[in-house]
Amino acid sequence: MKEVRFGFIGSGKISQYSAESIQKHNKASVVAVQDLNKERADELADKFDIKHRFTDSADLFACPDVDAVYIAVPNKFHASLATEAMKAGKHVILEKPFAMSTAEAEEVIRVSKETGRVFSVGMNQRFNEDSQKIKAIADTGALGEIYYAKAYWFRREGIPKLGTWFGNKALAGAGAINDIGVHLLDLCLHTMGNFDPVSVFGTTYTKFGNRGLGEGGWGISDATETTFDVDDLATAMIKMRNGATICLEVSWAAHIKDSNRMDVELFGTEMGASLYPSKLYKRNDPHNADYQVIDKVAAKPALEHCDRFHNFANHLIDGEPLLVTADEALVVQKILDAVAESTRTGKSVDL
């Protein structure tokens, strides 16, 4: 493939940033957009000078100008639209979270294999420069054994626009954990280089959105007064096969000191690391009192472009390895499902 022509399913808030990313690639472009809401599709098409605009996804999938489809719609529709796109011959990059369940995710992977179409989930936090630097260092083994990790994203008032699909379980599957928890969970597994969990104990809470509190306002869908019945705080302990443990914590809304606090912290036997921003913690000489906190991490990002769409397009054009594989995304989905099950049963879930 010499160039990649993208079609967008969904012309909501995140699609605007995604179109900007694709425009910066000299061999990729957005040639078609679709949204159930015609004005939104038109607005995105006008802003980025996009040729085709549709309201029916089937028309975009049938469009011969489209090579690859980016799907950015409410989570309920992720898996079905991804499989339809691949059956129509298109490669797919899907927004997070992968699906509403492990069974849905497995079906997407089956269709990807059956059709031979490339499939990836666009986990953009893996692509930021700091994540890439720490990943490059962790891959050399310099951290030693990574036996513990903390991944957290706490927002004080960060619930997407209240009344929209984000807060509704039937449309979103889950709340904070599906929206922002998924990013840092994925990033944590990626930087640890460990996608082999064996058990999960999780708990979720709904304490703010159901009272009309904690709104941050993300999203451009209309508020249709859907019920808020998803988590606005979630936590999980994830045990890995090699004995390592991950502590995941996330909130859309909570009474906390900082309005926004996020990080992935890796605890290695030789060094520690954190990602937002990238830092390293180590002692060179055990007899020297000075402990080293390295603020300017001097590693080269593994992917110079630091962009999920560039990675996906380059993969199709010249075989650049895809950073986010379907199998890794499936493991993340299994952990999300396990958190929900553990919350229901009050017990730890074996994977």
Residue with smaller CB distance to ligand NAD, 11 or 235: 11
Residue with smaller CB distance to ligand NAD, 221 or 235: 221
Q: Least distance in Å: CB of 76 to ligand NAD? A: 8
CB 86 within 8 A of CB 71: no
Tokens representing 286 are 């055990």
* Residue ranges in the chain assigned as alpha helix (H): 13-23, 38-48, 57-61, 78-87, 102-115, 129-139, 169-172, 176, 182-192, 308-318, 326-345
Q: Least distance in Å: CB of 1 to ligand NAD? A: 24
Q: Least distance in Å: CB of 155 to ligand NAD? A: 13
Residue with smaller CB distance to ligand NAD, 163 or 272: 163
Nearest-angstrom CA–CA distance, 272 and 268:
5
Residue with smaller CB distance to ligand NAD, 40 or 117: 40
Q: Least distance in Å: CB of 208 to ligand NAD? A: 19
Residue with smaller CB distance to ligand NAD, 124 or 191: 124
CB 183 within 8 A of CB 152: no
* 218 Cβ neighbours under 8 A, 6+ residues apart: 13, 158, 160, 161, 166
User: Between β-strands 245-251 and 146-155, what pairing exists: parallel, antiparallel or unpaired?
Assistant: parallel
Q: Least distance in Å: CB of 92 to ligand NAD? A: 13
- Which one, of 168, 260, 152, lies nearest residue 219 by Cα? 168
Residue with smaller CB distance to ligand NAD, 37 or 348: 37
Q: Least distance in Å: CB of 127 to ligand NAD? A: 10
Q: Dihedral, CA atoms, 212, 214, 343, 163, nearest 10 degrees?
A: 50
Nearest-angstrom CA–CA distance, 228 and 236:
22
- Among all residues, whose Cβ is closest to ligand NAD? 12
Binding residues for ligand NAD (CB under 6 A): 9-15, 34-37, 40, 57, 72-75, 77, 95-96, 124, 164, 179, 219-221
